[in-house]
Amino acid sequence: MLRSGPSILLGMMVGMSTLSGGAALAEVAECDPATMNCSPLVVCVEATGEILRGASFGLDAGPFAAASTSGVICEGSWRRGFLGIGLAEFACSDGRSGTSAFTWFEPESGTAVGSGRFSTGEEARFWAGNNLERYFREVAPEERQRMACSPGDMLLS
């Protein structure tokens, strides 16, 4: 998905997909950035440390899906909005829903960074890109200390 720069990643988290939970996980498992317009996605729920991992699809808009280790599946769609900001809406299998926005693109690693809020009021941080390991390895130490989820845990597949 990095083929067209920030526009691909910034649009990663918007809208509701029509995927069922099983199909969403299959789509996530089949994300191959070398042959598909997709990027790995990781979400950290700040208050609880819950981590969701998945993928987003498309260049300027598309579906995304992410799952937690506890089995919660969140699905949605994204679109590129004004000034390239990625906007998303999503719903989860546990009844939560929410919105997010990718407002920053880190060009060295090709990572889109954003934040959002669940319907329960929980705040979350989102990262999407094909080189998340590099992003988390090179992120400033003070930023890493502010993260509720450890980068090592977020990158485990």
What is residue 3's predicted lDDT score, i.e. its pLDDT?
32
Evaluate whether 88 touches 77 at the Cβ level (below 8 Å).
yes
What is residue 156's predicted lDDT score, i.e. its pLDDT?
62
Q: Model confidence over 55-75: pLDDT tens digits?
A: 999 888 999 999 998 899 999
| The Cα angle at residue 125 between residues 123 and 131, in degrees rounded to 5 | 170
List % helix, strand, coil for the chain (3-state, nearest 5): 25, 40, 35
- Residue 151 or 72, more confident: 72
Arithmetic mean of pLDDT, 23-32: 56
Arithmetic mean of pLDDT, 130-137: 86
Bridge partner list, 51? 44
Q: If you average pLDDT over each of 16-30, 37-51, 72-86, 88-102, which comes out highest?
A: 88-102
Backbone phi, then psi, for 3, in 5-degree steps?
-60, -30
Q: pTM score, two decimals? A: 0.77
Q: Model confidence over 66-124: pLDDT tens digits?
A: 999 889 999 999 998 888 889 999 999 999 999 999 988 888 888 889 999 999 999 99
- Residue 129 or 104, more confident: 129
**Tokens coding 134:** 């590099």
Evaluate whether 101 touches 128 at the Cβ level (below 8 Å).
no
Q: Which of 11-15, 96-100, 129-133, 145-149 has the lowest mean pLDDT?
A: 11-15
What is residue 53's predicted lDDT score, i.e. its pLDDT?
92
